[in-house]
């Protein structure tokens, strides 16, 4: 039985590789807006990421029915507002300035799906940014100029220059990065043997 990561995220690929499990990558294509519209509770970060991770895993399992499929999704939210990937550099600057000096939520949902079983769970972390100052403003401008924030929910990655904006984290560092890899390892291990 082969393991498939249903994500094109290089960060999730890097984190899953930490487990030592061999896996293939098959990015999932699903209409995320439609998935969210079908939810009873569209305002719950954990419900949203669990539904999206399940939709992605389900889509990939359709074409790979004998595989173990791992789907994941991450959202950033502040006061009930979801921060997805920024549209452009100006939007990235706006997001990072709005998050400055405040504590926001980062929810990562994970689905482990086979033809006969499914596990869906999420990890919620709290991340606090330093308040706006001339140093933080300069850091935001420098970070946005790299282009790195443009493919990340909330316009930052904890594992890169964006991590310098963070004063505190309560929760799972790797979940904020995109995959709660320690918990994923615990849940995948019983499915062995697949190549390690």
What are the catalytic residues? 73
For residue 152, what are the contacts with CB-CB under 8 A and spacing of at least 6?
Answer: 85, 162
Cα 129 to chain centroid distance, Å, stands at 18
Q: How many CB atoms lie within 10 A of CB 18?
A: 13
Query: Which pair of structure tokens corresponds to residue 142?
Result: 């420098």
Q: How many CB atoms are located within 10 Å of the residue 189 CB?
A: 11
Among candidate residues 92, 64, 75, the one with its CA nearest the CA of residue 36: 75
Give me the helices (H) in the chain, please. 10-17, 32-37, 45-63, 89-99, 134-145, 173-177, 181-188
Query: Which residue from 110, 131, 128, 96 is spatially nearest to 175, judged by alpha carbons?
Result: 110
């Amino acid at each position: 039985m082969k393991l498939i990561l249903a994500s094109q995220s290089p960060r999730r690929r890097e984190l899953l590789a930490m487990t030592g499990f061999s896996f293939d990558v098959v990015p999932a294509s699903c209409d995320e807006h439609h998935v969210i519209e079908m939810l009873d509770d569209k305002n719950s970060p954990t419900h949203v990421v669990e539904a999206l991770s399940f939709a992605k895993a389900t889509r990939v399992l359709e074409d790979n029915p004998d595989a173990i499929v791992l789907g994941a999704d991450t959202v950033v939210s502040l006061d009930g507002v979801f921060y997805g990937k920024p549209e452009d550099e100006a939007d990235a600057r706006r997001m990072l300035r709005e998050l400055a000096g405040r504590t926001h939520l980062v929810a990562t949902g994970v689905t482990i799906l086979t033809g006969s079983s499914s596990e869906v769970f999420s990890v919620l972390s709290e991340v606090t940014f330093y308040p706006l100052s001339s140093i933080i403003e300069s850091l935001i401008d420098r970070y946005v100029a790299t282009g790195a924030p443009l493919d990340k929910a909330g316009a930052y990655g904890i594992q890169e220059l964006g991590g310098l904006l963070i004063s505190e984290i309560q929760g799972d560092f790797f979940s904020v990065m995109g995959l709660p890899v320690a918990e994923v390892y615990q849940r995948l291990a019983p499915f062995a043997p697949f190549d390690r």
